[in-house]
Amino acid sequence: MRVFVAIELAPVWQEKITKATYPLRQTLRGKWVEQHNLHLTLAFIGEVKDTDSQVIAQQLKIAIAPIRTFELVLGNIVTLPPKSPRLIAFSFKPSADFLRLQQAVINSLKKIKIPASSLKPHLTLVRLKSPLFKSTLPVMPALNIKFTVNQLSLMQSTLTPKGPVYKRLEALKLSSKVPQGPLRPNIAICIINPKNEVLLIKHREHIKEYWQFPQGGVKTGDSFEQTVKHELKEELGLLNIHILKLRERIYKYNWPKKLIRTGQDLEKKGYIGQEQSLAIVKVNEIRPKLTPDPREAAAVHWFPISRVMKALNPIRRPMGKLAMVELNKMITKGS
């Protein structure tokens, strides 16, 4: 059977999207997705055995168990794949919750050696018979439609002469429970040098070859700017910095239970996770002098932007994705 992982849309949202894209449907020829089939494709898996689909569903269920319901916002129209596009779709505005869900799905499939497509998550509108030049794509503003994501679906796709027929194999509910306990205010610091390399540290407790941004807790009464300067001075001996951008409270996550029990007096303070902000920081030298605190950083390394996401610890990748989006915007604008 041919399967994929999707976020299904309620009929009311399917109707709104159909109405909003009506002008496009009048000018663009192709095989338009029927209203009742509109959905967000999170990962396309392809042909699997019936027994494999059951294993996939079980792994997905385990992977998304800690993830709570969240809101998702429809973004701009995009063409896929990037080269010789034959598909027009809506993208989605990046959010930490969505990126966390996406990463959980990818990791769960990797664990059971199931390959999935590398296409960006998207909502397919129309499939074309021949490649489309971007210059011929009609301009359409972002819809900014917001809806709640409360479950994933493992779907079966059967190809017929009239088009694909979809069948839900398994509905995987996201958690609606709100964990009890406060989140620790924290700021992740993305440092970039004149070569557009990003500084990552390897935490002393990381056994695997995983890296992370320098980060630190925000103390009561301290500003985010004060925290950034203090953390970089104490952790890396870095003084000459320029804070280019601050984005406050953009990502929340819960710690594993083991960390809550054993880590850094977290249990005494009652924290169950972190509410993270992001600072983009620039240094003037390609290799500024660093004096890492061995209690915080076992190693430091400057990574090209293209290698940052792969190097990051999986739990840090949702914030890493948000940081890379901000960083690429700034580089494009010439900050």
Q: What is the CATH number of the domain that holds 290?
A: 3.90.79.10
Chain Cα centroid distance, residue 54: 26
pLDDT band for position 205 (cuts 50, 70, 90): low
pLDDT band for position 267 (cuts 50, 70, 90): very low
Stretch 19-32: mean pLDDT, rounded? 86
Q: Are residues 307 and 257 in the same domain?
A: yes
% residues pLDDT > 90 (the chain): 38
pLDDT at 118 over 80: no
Is the distance from CB of 33 to CB of 124 less than 8 angstroms?
yes
Q: Choose one of 123, 142, 173: the last residue of a domain.
A: 173
pTM of the predicted model as reported, rounded to 2 decimal places: 0.59
> Higher model confidence: residue 129 or residue 270?
129
Q: How many CA atoms lie less than 13 Å away from 149 in the CB half-sphere?
A: 25
Residue 262 belongs to a domain: yes
Q: Are residues 161 and 124 in the same domain?
A: yes
Q: Are residues 190 and 161 in the same domain?
A: no
Closest CA to 181 of 100, 252, 277, 249: 252
Between CA 17 and CA 21 the distance in angstroms is 6
What pLDDT was estimated at residue 33? 93
Lowest mean pLDDT among 70-74, 163-167, 267-271, 323-327: 267-271
Q: Are residues 268 and 314 in the same domain?
A: yes
What pLDDT was estimated at residue 180? 58
pLDDT at 238 over 90: yes
pLDDT at 171 over 60: yes
Q: Choose one of 153, 173, 193: the last residue of a domain.
A: 173
Q: Are residues 51 and 191 in the same domain?
A: no
Q: Are residues 194 and 285 in the same domain?
A: yes
Q: Are residues 164 and 198 in the same domain?
A: no
Q: Are residues 148 and 218 in the same domain?
A: no
Mean pLDDT of the chain, nearest integer: 85
Burial of 45 (0-12, 13-18, 19+ CB in 10 A): buried
Return the number of other C-beta atoms located less than 10 Å from residue 86's C-beta.
15
Q: Are residues 162 and 192 in the same domain?
A: no
Between CA 297 and CA 200 the distance in angstroms is 9
What string of H, E and C letters represents the secondary structure of the chain?
A: CEEEEEEECCHHHHHHHHHHCHHHHHHCCCEECCHHHCEEEEEEEEECCHHHHHHHHHHHHHHCCCCECEEEEEEEEEEECCCCCCEEEEEECCCHHHHHHHHHHHHHHHHCCCCCCCCCCEEEEEECCCCCCHHHCCCCCCCCCEEEECEEEEEEEEEECCEEEEEEEEEEECECCCCCCCEEEEEEEEEECCCCEEEEEECCCCCCCCEECCEEECCCCCCHHHHHHHHHHHHHCCCCCEEEEEEEEEEEEECCHHHHHHCCCHHHHCCCEEEEEEEEEECCCCCCCCCCCCCCCCEEEEEEHHHHHHHECHHHHHHHHHHHHHHHHHHHHCC
Q: Are residues 241 and 265 in the same domain?
A: yes
Q: What is the CATH number of the domain that holds 112?
A: 3.90.1140.10
Count of domains observed in the chain: 2
Q: Are residues 293 and 210 in the same domain?
A: yes
Q: Are residues 145 and 24 in the same domain?
A: yes
Q: Choose one of 173, 200, 221: the last residue of a domain.
A: 173
Its domain, for residue 264, covers 183-333
